[in-house]
Structure formats: structure tokens, C-alpha cells
């Protein structure tokens, strides 16, 4: 017990040390506080994205999916790689609009694109409400980490209290430093959670560690673990489609994901960061799932797939490896909670409290953001404690996923298409969100009558239809069309070929004859 708690303690101390040494002495501007002054390079963007993408439950729920249902677990690889790739295609326009119009959040972009405060507020509320259950689940996961680390010596309540205390203390720095407080530790947390675990999975699968699983075991798993849902079970053929589809479009709908575009120093940093995100994420998740599928041959894992990660750690390396495994879950949970708390505080201040009529100064915005983060975190901590033994919270998280993807319609159409208007966007999002909410409450998993589609996909269809109909019915003024056209001009990529092969003297001559344009 002391060894495992000690490992968690050392990890935590390093996180606090990094925060302490990298904090700024002067008070930051709101731009600095909210998006890190748009100054971070590709590795920081990538690590921050990976941290906000994979919660600690990737080692519990997703691992449980692989060790309980086999190849089904790999659907996460498909949706995360395809989804993160969408960021690449959206990067140029979204980043340029961000820099040109000083955007700090995803609802900021929607509000600007549709020239509508309603769109901004609705999008922001959907994002915040949807993230809330995940923060609560993340806090509860930390309680479970301490249950493992204390080897059952601490009561459930004590473990939850310790988990909450640890994350609440950590958030002092998130509140104080804003985006900088995340970025600086995401690198360390990410290495522990995703890079170390990927290396560990590779060692286990290589067979050099001995024990019952290896790459070779994958060929021996039972038939049932090689079948996807819909192939001989109660699910219809569209179940997997619905899960991957909502995952792909939802990847940029999560406020935490989109904000990574605005923390980047350039379009190059976003795109380069995206490549790294796909690499880290893909390698880590694939190896984790392969270990999960291979471990179906272990009776102890088959009996309790959700705790499979910890079972494997303990059976391979005893207390030390179990402690390391728990630290990885701890790191992943912390990174996810940090990102969520930060972006929700930012959105409350920037999108909901600040407005044309009630314009806040930089320092007021920062204060409101700090207060909002504290309130958001306190509310999540209270709910985490009150609902620790409730399974319905998992359902709420499922509903939130189906709900947040409703942002995709105005977001994707708004960035890639010049049509539509604010009234259509608001009506579409509200109707889609309500449809998804009601359907998912009635059919938490799938809708059998629709080939196992999920409520979120049906909600998106309603959302799209309402968006197009209302936009068409209410029309767009010539002035608004001109404004949108101007925005799209700003987002156009450079068409000129770079002077890659020019000599230094030629480049100077080139610059002298073609002075650089004003930076956007």
C-alpha cells in the first residue's frame, strides 16, 4: 500500500513542481489566460489534445470493452483517428479566423460565423452541460485509483475524499494559471499516461515479460472476441456505424478539443500537432486494445473486464507494476479533468457572462473565469460525492455524448459552407439536443427499430433538417452574405509556392521586391 501511494505521491509532487516553477509572476492578459497567447508549438498542442481526449476511464471502460467484447474495443481507434483528422482539414480556416477575430472558444467561432449571440450561448451551454458528467466521472475514477492504491485498507468514502482533495488542490493552479497551467503539465502527464503505458503494453505483448499474454495469444482468442456488434448478437448492423459516426463528428464538438486550435502558434503548429496526436493516440490506444483482447484468455480478466488493467499489472509485476498502472490512470484522469474545468470556466466568462451590452475588461474576464472554474469544480465535486454509487451517472454521460454532437451541424456547415443563418443554427441545435436527450433517455444504448442507430444520430438528422429549413425560411440579408464572404476570404490558404529552394541572398532579394503583408 505504501509503495503504491508513494508512487502516486511522487507523480503528484512532480506535477506541482512543474506548475510552481513555470508560473508567471506578472498577471496574464485574458488572451494569455484563456488560450496561452496562441503561442504553443506542435508537441504542446498534441500532448494537450491527447490529455483532453482520453479520460482515465480509457484504462477502465474502454479496456473493459476490449477484454469483455474483443475487437469491438477497436471502434475507439477508428473514431479517434478519423475524428482527429478532421481537425487537420479544419485547421487553416479555424485558426485564421481565431487569430484575425480574436476568438477564444468554439462558441465564439459559431457566434461570429452566424453573427448571432443566441448561437454562441446555446453552443456554449450544450458544451458545458455535456462536459459536466465527464468531470464527475473523472473525479470518481480518482476515488477508484485510491481504492486500488490503498489495497482496500481505506473505506470507499475515504478514497473518494482523498481523490477529490487531490484534484481540487491541483485545480488551484489551473484556476490561477489558466491554459498555461494545463499545457505545462500535459507534457509530463501525457508521457506517464500514454507513452509509458504504450511501452508497457509493447513489452507485455512482445512476450519477453513472460506470462499468459503476447502477440501470439491474439490468434488463440475465442471466436466471440473477433466479432463486431451486429454479427450474430442482439444489435443491428448500424450500431457500430452510429458509435463511430458520433465519435468522428463529435471529436471537434467537445470544447476541450476545439480549443487546442486556438492555443497553437500557427496553422503549421495545429497541423503538425494533429499528426502527432494521431500518432500518439493511435499507437497508445491500439496497443492497449491488443493487450485487452489478448487478456481474454486470462480467467481473472474475463471475470471482471473493467478491472482487467489492474489485474494484468498485478499478475505481471506485483505491487510495483500495479502502482505504475494506477499512476497512469491517475495521470490520464487528471489531464482530462484539468482541460474540462479550464475550458468550462473560459466559456462561462467569455461566452455567457461577457456580451456586447456587458463588455468586461481583461481583468474582469479573468476574474469571472477563475470564479466560474471554482464553481464548476465545486459543483462537480459535490455531485461526485453524492452519486458515487449511482449507475445512472454513466447514463448521463452517454446522453451528454449524444447531445454534444449536435454542435457538429452548425460547426461543420459553418466552417465549410457559406449558407445558413443564426436562427437556423439555434433552432437546429436545440431541436437536435432535445431529440437526442429524449431518445437516449428512452433507449440508452440503441434504437432496435432503426437498425440499432443511436439517439444522437437521429438528433443530428433532425438538427440538420431544422437548420436548413429555418435558414431557408428566414433568409439571409445581402449585408450578411457579404460579411460571410469576407470571412471566407480571410480563411483562404496561400496560393503561392514557398521559396524553399532559394538561396539566402535570393530570399532577401525576394523579400525586398515583395514586402510581407500585414499579419492577420
Which residue lies nearer to other proteins by CB, 358 or 496?
496
Residue 78 binds other proteins, judged by CB under 8 A: yes
Q: Which is nearer to other proteins, 211 or 499 (CB)?
A: 499
DSSP string computed for 452-475: TB-HHHHHHHHHHHHHHHHHHHH-
**What CA–CA distance (Å, rounded) separates 54 from 14?**
21
> What are the backbone angles phi and psi of residue 447, rounded to the nearest 5°?
-105, 105
Query: Interface with other proteins by CB under 8 A: which range of 26-34, 69-77, 356-364, 424-432?
Result: 69-77
Phi first, then psi, for residue 264 (nearest 5°) are -75, 150
Cα angle value 185/173/99 (rounded, 5°): 70
Interactions with other proteins, residue window 361-400 (CB under 8 A): none
CA-based nearest residue to 107, from 129, 85, 137: 129
Nearest Cα neighbor of 87 from 42, 119, 127, 40 is 42
| Residue 102 binds other proteins (CB under 8 A) | no
SS3 at position 40: strand
Per-residue mark of binding to other proteins, 297-326 (x: CB under 8 A): ------------------------------
Rounded to 5°, angle at Cα 354 from 351 and 360: 145
Q: What is the gyration radius of the CA atoms in the chain, in angstroms?
A: 23
Minimal CA–CA distance to 375: which of 171, 95, 161, 511? 171
Helix/strand/coil for 85: helix
151, 209, 228, 353: residue in contact with other proteins (rule CB under 8 A): 228
Q: Is 145 in the site for other proteins (CB under 8 A)?
A: no
Using CB under 8 A, pick the residue from 58, 74, 264, 393 that binds other proteins: 74
Decide if 195 contacts 284 (C-beta within 8 A).
yes
The Cα–Cα gap between 362 and 299 comes to 58
Query: Stretches 156-164, 286-294, 330-338, 354-362: which one binds other proteins (CB under 8 A)?
Result: 286-294
Interaction mask 398-427, other proteins, x per CB under 8 A: ------------------------------
User: What secondary structure, in 3-state letters, does 206-225 show?
Assistant: HCCCCCCCCHHHHHHCCHHH
- Which residues on adjacent β-strands are paired with residue 40? 264
DSSP state of 1: -
Residue 293 near other proteins by CB under 8 A: yes
Nearer Cβ to other proteins (14/221): 221
Give the contact letters, 478-517, x = binds to other proteins (CB under 8 A), - = no: ---------------xxxxxxxxxx-------x---x-xx
Asked if 245 interacts with other proteins (CB under 8 A), we say yes
Give yes or no for residue 227 binding other proteins (CB under 8 A): yes
Number of residues this chain uses to bind other proteins (CB under 8 A): 58
**Grid cell digits, residue 18:** 512543474
Cβ neighbours of 316 (radius 10 Å): 18
Could you say which of 266, 315, 364, 394 contacts other proteins (CB under 8 A)? 266
Task: Give the one residue of 25, 358, 392, 519 binding other proteins; rule: CB under 8 A.
Answer: 519
Query: How many Å apart are CA 363 and CA 342, to the nearest integer?
Result: 17
Minimum CB–partner distance for residue 425 and other proteins (Å): 25
Q: Please tell me whether residue 65 binds other proteins under the rule CB under 8 A.
A: no
**For other proteins, which stretch binds (CB under 8 A), given 9-17, 119-127, 241-249, 428-436?**
241-249
The reply on whether position 215 binds other proteins by CB under 8 A is yes
Q: Which of residues 151-180 bind other proteins (CB under 8 A)?
A: none
272 in contact with other proteins (CB under 8 A):
yes
The window from 75-83, 127-135, 353-361, 376-384 that contacts other proteins (CB under 8 A) reads 75-83
Task: Examine residue 290 and tell whether it contacts other proteins (CB under 8 A).
Answer: yes
Strand partners, 111: none
Residue 374 near residue 176, CB atoms below 8 Å: no
Count of C-beta atoms within a 10 Å radius of residue 220: 11
Q: Which one among 12, 88, 172, 388 touches other proteins, defined by CB under 8 A?
A: 88
516 phi/psi in degrees, rounded to 5: -65, 140
Return d(Cα 267, Cα 273) in angstroms, integer: 10
Q: Does residue 226 touch other proteins according to CB under 8 A?
A: yes
Minimum Å gap between C-beta 488 and other proteins is 15
The residue length of the chain stands at: 520
* 84 vs 184, beta carbon nearer other proteins: 84
Nearer to other proteins, 139 or 243 (CB): 243
Residues facing 453 on adjacent strands = 447
Q: Is 275 in the site for other proteins (CB under 8 A)?
A: yes
Min. distance of Cβ 55 from other proteins in angstroms?
20
Question: Which residue from 272, 274, 281 is spatially nearest to 55, judged by alpha carbons?
Answer: 281
Q: How many CB atoms lie within 10 A of CB 276?
A: 18
Q: Which of 150, 158, 286, 387 binds other proteins (CB under 8 A)?
A: 286
**Locus of grid cell 445558413:** 420
Cell (9 digits) for 95:
485558426
Out of 18, 82, 374, 430, point to the residue binding other proteins (CB under 8 A).
82
- Kindly list the residues in this chain that would bind other proteins in the complex (CB under 8 A): 71, 74-75, 77-79, 81-82, 85, 88, 96, 215-216, 218-219, 221, 223, 226-228, 230-231, 237-238, 240-241, 244-245, 248, 266-268, 271-272, 274-275, 278-279, 282, 286, 290, 293, 493-502, 510, 514, 516-517, 519-520
Amino acid at each position: 500500500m505504501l509503495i503504491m501511494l508513494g508512487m502516486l505521491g511522487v507523480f503528484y509532487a512532480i506535477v506541482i513542481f512543474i506548475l510552481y516553477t513555470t508560473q508567471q509572476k506578472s498577471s496574464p492578459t485574458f488572451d494569455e489566460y484563456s488560450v496561452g497567447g496562441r503561442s504553443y508549438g506542435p508537441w504542446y498542442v498534441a500532448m494537450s489534445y491527447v490529455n483532453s481526449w482520453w479520460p482515465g476511464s480509457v484504462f477502465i471502460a474502454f479496456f473493459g470493452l476490449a477484454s469483455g467484447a474483443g475487437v469491438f474495443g477497436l471502434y475507439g481507434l477508428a473514431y479517434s483517428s478519423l475524428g482527429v483528422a478532421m481537425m487537420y482539414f479544419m485547421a487553416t480556416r479555424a485558426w485564421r479566423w481565431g487569430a484575425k477575430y480574436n476568438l477564444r472558444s468554439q462558441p465564439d467561432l459559431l457566434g461570429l460565423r452566424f453573427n448571432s449571440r443566441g448561437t454562441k450561448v446555446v453552443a456554449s451551454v450544450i458544451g458545458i452541460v455535456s462536459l459536466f458528467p465527464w468531470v464527475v466521472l473523472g473525479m470518481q475514477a480518482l476515488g477508484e485509483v485510491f481504492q486500488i492504491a490503498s489495497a482496500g485498507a481505506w473505506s470507499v468514502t475515504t478514497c473518494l475524499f482523498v481523490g477529490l482533495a487531490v484534484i481540487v488542490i491541483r485545480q488551484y493552479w489551473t484556476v490561477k494559471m489558466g491554459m498555461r497551467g494545463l499545457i505545462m503539465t500535459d507534457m509530463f502527464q501525457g508521457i506517464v499516461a500514454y507513452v509509458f503505458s504504450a511501452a508497457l503494453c509493447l513489452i507485455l505483448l512482445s512476450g519477453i515479460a513472460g506470462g499468459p499474454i503476447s502477440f501470439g495469444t491474439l490468434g488463440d482468442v475465442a471466436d466471440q472476441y473477433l466479432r463486431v456488434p451486429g454479427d450474430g448478437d442482439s444489435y443491428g448492423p448500424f450500431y457500430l456505424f452510429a458509435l463511430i459516426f458520433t465519435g468522428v463528428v463529435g471529436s471537434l464538438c467537445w470544447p476541450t478539443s476545439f480549443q487546442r486550435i486556438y492555443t497553437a502558434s500557427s496553422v503549421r503548429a495545429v497541423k503538425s500537432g494533429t499528426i502527432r496526436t494521431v500518432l500518439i493516440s493511435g499507437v497508445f490506444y491500439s496497443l492497449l486494445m491488443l493487450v485487452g483482447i489478448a487478456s481474454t484468455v486470462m480467467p481473472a480478466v474475463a471475470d471482471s473486464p473493467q478491472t482487467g488493467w489492474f489485474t494484468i499489472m498485478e499478475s505481471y509485476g506485483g505491487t510495483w507494476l500495479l502502482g505504475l498502472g494506477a499512476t497512469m490512470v491517475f495521470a490520464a484522469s487528471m489531464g482530462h479533468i484539468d482541460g474540462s474545468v479550464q475550458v468550462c470556466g473560459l466559456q462561462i466568462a467569455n461566452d455567457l457572462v461577457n456580451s456586447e451590452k456587458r463588455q468586461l475588461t481583461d481583468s474582469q474576464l479573468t476574474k469571472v473565469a477563475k470564479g466560474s472554474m471554482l464553481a464548476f469544480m465545486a459543483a462537480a465535486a459535490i455531485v461526485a460525492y453524492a452519486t458515487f454509487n449511482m449507475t445512472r451517472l454513466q447514463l448521463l454521460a452517454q446522453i451528454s455524448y449524444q447531445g454534444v454532437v449536435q454542435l457538429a451541424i452548425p460547426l461543420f456547415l459553418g466552417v465549410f459552407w457559406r449558407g445558413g443563418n443564426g436562427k437556423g443554427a439555434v433552432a437546429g441545435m436545440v431541436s437536435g439536443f432535445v431529440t437526442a436527450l429524449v431518445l437516449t433517455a428512452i433507449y440508452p444504448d440503441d434504437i432496435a427499430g432503426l437498425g440499432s442507430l443511436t439517439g444522437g444520430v437521429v438528433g443530428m438528422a433532425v438538427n440538420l433538417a431544422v437548420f436548413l429549413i429555418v435558414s431557408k425560411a428566414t433568409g439571409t440579408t445581402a449585408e450578411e452574405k457579404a460579411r460571410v464572404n469576407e470571412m471566407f476570404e480571410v480563411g483562404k490558404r496561400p496560393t503561392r509556392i514557398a521559396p524553399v529552394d532559394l538561396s539566402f541572398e535570393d530570399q532577401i532579394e525576394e523579400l525586398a521586391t515583395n514586402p510581407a503583408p500585414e499579419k492577420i
